Amino acid sequence: MSKLHVQLTGLCTPGSFLQSGTFGTALAPTSTEGDLFAPSRCDTSDGFTYVTSDEASACILASSLAMSPDGAAAFCFNLGAHLFVARTKEKLQLLPHDNGYIVGLSDVAVEGTFVWQDNGEQITDVYKLQFFNPAEPNNSGVGEDCVVVTNVTTMLSGNDIPCNFVYWMVACERPVYG
């Protein structure tokens, strides 16, 4: 059901009272009547939120639970979701900029070949340069096959980490409808 936010009163009312226009289509409210809000474009149960910008949208759960990337994938799956996938810089910026988040990108299968975990598609070489922090991915230490994004200045950027390292928060994603 649509809702009408009345700017003068600050209240929401059901939008079903809107008059019908030509061929049965509903007439949008005027600017003095308020703003029309449609139902969410994603399943917002379990703390998921529909986040949008001019260039991108996503249904995201940015959890404050610290876990490993392996545990994060199972956590998201149990919520009917997958780890957050950001095939564009604009979508990546939808995540909160307050923490580091595990995302659905890894090179577990073939070292140096990073693939999105929702469909196995390889990240492009051009986007890989834009996505990762400078000098990353570097596979340092004990082998870094999973990816987190962290806030570098005002932009989120990727860093490869060990898949069993329990430290980062998790970002899950559900489908957006319509």
Q: Which residues of the chain fall below pLDDT 50?
A: 1-2, 15-27
CA distances from 38 to 2, 4, 135 (A): 5, 9, 44
Q: Check the CA dihedral 60-62-65-67 and report its sign.
A: positive
The Cα 96–Cα 3 span in angstroms is: 27
Query: Identity (one letter) of the amino acid at 17?
Result: F
Superfamily of chain region 45-174? Mannose-Binding Protein A, subunit A (3.10.100.10)
The Cα 122–Cα 115 span in angstroms is: 4
Q: Check residue 31 and give its pLDDT.
A: 56
Q: Check residue 20 and give its pLDDT.
A: 40
Residue whose pair of structure tokens reads 């095939």 in the numeric block: 87
Q: Check residue 99 and give its pLDDT.
A: 86
Angle (nearest 5°) at CA 30 between 58 and 24:
80
Question: How many CA atoms, within 13 angstroms, populate the side-chain half-sphere of residue 169?
Answer: 16
> Three-state DSSP class for 177?
coil
Q: Check residue 121 and give its pLDDT.
A: 96
Q: Check residue 167 and give its pLDDT.
A: 83
Domain spans in the chain, listed from the N-terminal domain onward: 3-37, 45-174
The Cα 99–Cα 50 span in angstroms is: 19
The Cα 104–Cα 114 span in angstroms is: 10
Q: Check residue 97 and give its pLDDT.
A: 87
CA 81 to chain centre: 11
Q: Check residue 168 and give its pLDDT.
A: 87
Q: Check residue 155 and give its pLDDT.
A: 79
Q: Check residue 30 and give its pLDDT.
A: 58
Query: Identity (one letter) of the amino acid at 113?
Result: T
